[in-house]
Structure 1
Amino acid sequence: MARLHETETFAGLALPGHLHSQESLRAAAAFPFRAADVLLVSYPKSGTTWMQEILTLINSKGDPEPAKTVPNWARAPWLEHIYFKEVLQETEGPRLFTTHLPCQVLAAALKKAKPKVIYVARNPKDVAVSFYYFSRMANFFPDPGSFDDFLLRFLDGTVHYGSWFEHTKGWLGSQRELDLFCITYEELHQDLRGSLERLSAFLGCSLQPGQLDAIQEHSSFASMRENAMVNCSLIPPEVLDPSKGQFMRKGIVGDWKNHFSPEQNSLFNKRYQQEMEGCNLTFQGFMD
């Protein structure tokens, strides 16, 4: 597999060379957005796949056909990935893109066209746990080592994709300059229907009760886990090794409690309070 064990460095971030090149990253930073475009933004393991499915189903008014027949990386392609040019659809209507890039890389391009930006945030304690398990099975990431070691690197922002704190603060700090809608993974769990109504209103896509029912059904964890277009079963085992874990592992809120020691939790809380002071973003059960 090409560049499977290589690391690309861009804008101070370490990124998997299997997925990124200098050319693809520069192209992402200068991408000519349209006002009708929708950009899904997240830090890794924050509910990106779930939101890709939700936005696909909102666009199709609950019709599951696109979600069941087209891989999610083709219907919501990653702006910065090497394959992006191959799957870019030059359609007349809204286009859906996905990115993990930080705001400072894309801000200039976004300000020109003002497409709609949807930022998905998740309790960073759960992000760290999910990212650790994903790094164990994804052969394009370095060996994460022990969870203790990985958690320290996560807090220091030296994992691939950089600091969760900087990523989150960067995007939320640009809400006034961008047409940005922020929603949390926890909100989706607490009130999926209400979240769908808010998202569809932001996108200017009115939905009927039956359509909302269909979106809830087809974007459920159980449905996605069985859907080959989204569960990563199409990806070769040399890239994502199923013997080392599951891509769709649990999909729950609060799994960090099964992994953090009291000392790790205290350290994390202290760092969070230092980094996120003044930020009004809250997560269910963060301080438990």
Structure 2
Amino acid sequence: MTEAELYSVHKGVYVPTHLNPPESLKYCEEFTFRQEDILIVTFPKSGTTWMQEIVPLIVSEGDMTPVLTVPNWDRVPWLEEHRAMLLSLEQRPSPRVFATHFHHRMMNESYFKMKPRVLYVMRNPKDVFTSSYHYYGMASYLVNPGTQDEFMEKFLHGNIMFGSWFDHVKGWLNAEEKASILYIFYEEMIADLKGSVEKIGQFLGKSLKPDVTEKIADHCVFKNMKQNKMSNFSLVPEEFMNQKKSEFLRKGIAGDWKNLFTEAQEKRFDAVYEDKMKDVTFKFPWD
């Protein structure tokens, strides 16, 4: 199926209509934030599921109950997705934890007024591309990726769900409300998960005991989290996600793009990256 059949355009970017029907986008637009809210913001395939596991465990100070009994899309719902409307989020006690794939410019009026705490997770765009390529091949609500070359052109031009990775990252890096944003990298979480848990905990005002930090980090190591049926998307019917084609939680590593890219693709990607990011002074671990 084509983009026209599977996607709608919202604020200038493609969103999958199955996940983000007009009524859920309207709900998101009218949503009232609280200052104590915690918002996980990512471009798709940048570590959202991982953060949906880590943050509730920090908030609960190591109580495993929420992550072992509630599916992650209800535990930390995406505000723009249809599930959000069904969960009585207004009744949830603070701190509420949400996720979004929205660009900074797409956030609603209440967000800019209340300035909730934001965890903005970034990942090497070559790995985002690689993870996306496998994901688009197994999810029925996304346009088939086609060949690697075809999908790369779509990715580099922002003709995929939630638009351009470059615009997404630059928009959030240029946010004026930086005091309420913690920028964190997928790669630093892989290199030092315990340190990342401590860093996120401090940002959220939680001073965790060392044994609690250890327990959270141990549970959230990729291979352990992958076994949690509340988080590995195995509860999603096969008609929507065919995990026989590719697992939703695949490898959880940095640098997997090296197993996918040809030399020509690497050159093409690098040329576009250098052009799009030439004005960005922020230091990324993959540069």
TM range (shorter): over 0.9
Distance apart, 1:177 and its partner CA = 5.5
Distance apart, 1:107 and its partner CA = 5.3
Task: State the alpha-carbon separation in 2 of the partners of residues 195 and 151 from structure 1.
Answer: 31
Q: Which runs of 4+ in 1 moved over 3 A?
A: 175-178, 280-286
Map 1:253-264 → 2, pairs under 5 A? 253-264=254-265
Amino acid at match of 1:9: V
Per the alignment, residue 102 of structure 2 pairs with 101
Which stretch shows the higher mean deviation, 271-280 or 138-147?
271-280
Per the alignment, residue 272 of structure 2 pairs with 271
Per the alignment, residue 9 of structure 2 pairs with 9
Task: State the alpha-carbon separation in 2 of the partners of residues 59 and 67 from structure 1.
Answer: 11
Per the alignment, residue 24 of structure 1 pairs with 24
Task: State the alpha-carbon separation in 2 of the partners of residues 250 and 186 from structure 1.
Answer: 13
Amino acid at match of 1:130: S
Task: State the alpha-carbon separation in 2 of the partners of residues 178 and 21 from structure 1.
Answer: 33
Distance apart, 1:175 and its partner CA = 4.7
Q: Where does the alignment leave 5 or more consecutive residues of structure 2 unmatched?
A: none
Task: State the alpha-carbon separation in 1 of the partners of residues 88 and 281 from structure 2.
Answer: 36
Per the alignment, residue 66 of structure 2 pairs with 66
Amino acid at match of 1:27: Y
Q: What does the per-residue CA deviation read over 1:202-254, in whole Å, with 9 as the maximum and x for residues that have no partner?
A: 10011000100110111111111111000001000000012211111100000
1:179 aligned onto 2:165: no
Amino acid at match of 2:20: H
Cα 1:37–1:230 shift into 2, 3 Å:
same
Task: State the alpha-carbon separation in 2 of the partners of residues 256 and 162 from structure 1.
Answer: 20
Q: Is the 8 A contact 1:116 1:179 kept in 2?
A: yes
Q: Is the 8 A contact 1:42 1:99 kept in 2?
A: yes
Q: 1:92 is paired with a residue of what secondary structure?
A: coil
Per the alignment, residue 93 of structure 2 pairs with 92
Map 1:137-286 → 2, pairs under 5 A? 137-176=138-177, 179-286=180-287
Q: 1:67 is paired with a residue of what secondary structure?
A: helix
Q: Is the 8 A contact 1:122 1:185 kept in 2?
A: yes
Amino acid at match of 1:200: G
Q: Is the 8 A contact 1:102 1:171 kept in 2?
A: yes
Cα 1:6–1:267 shift into 2, 3 Å:
closer
Q: 2:52 is paired with a residue of what secondary structure?
A: helix
Amino acid at match of 2:106: V
Count of residues in correspondence between the two structures: 282
Task: State the alpha-carbon separation in 2 of the partners of residues 243 and 195 from structure 1.
Answer: 32
Distance apart, 1:180 and its partner CA = 1.0
Q: Is the 8 A contact 2:127 2:256 kept in 1?
A: yes
Distance apart, 1:285 and its partner CA = 4.2
Q: Percent identity?
A: 43
Distance apart, 1:43 and its partner CA = 0.3
Q: Where does the alignment leave 5 or more consecutive residues of structure 1 unmatched?
A: none
1:121 aligned onto 2:122: yes
Cα 1:91–1:107 shift into 2, 3 Å:
closer
Q: 1:66 is paired with a residue of what secondary structure?
A: helix
Per the alignment, residue 112 of structure 1 pairs with 113
Q: What does the per-residue CA deviation read over 1:247-274, in whole Å, with 9 as the maximum and x for residues that have no partner?
A: 1110000001111112211121121111
Task: State the alpha-carbon separation in 2 of the partners of residues 271 and 193 from structure 1.
Answer: 34
Q: Is the 8 A contact 2:123 2:185 kept in 1?
A: yes
Q: TM-score, normalised by structure 2?
A: 0.94
- Aligned-residue RMSD, C-alpha: 1.4
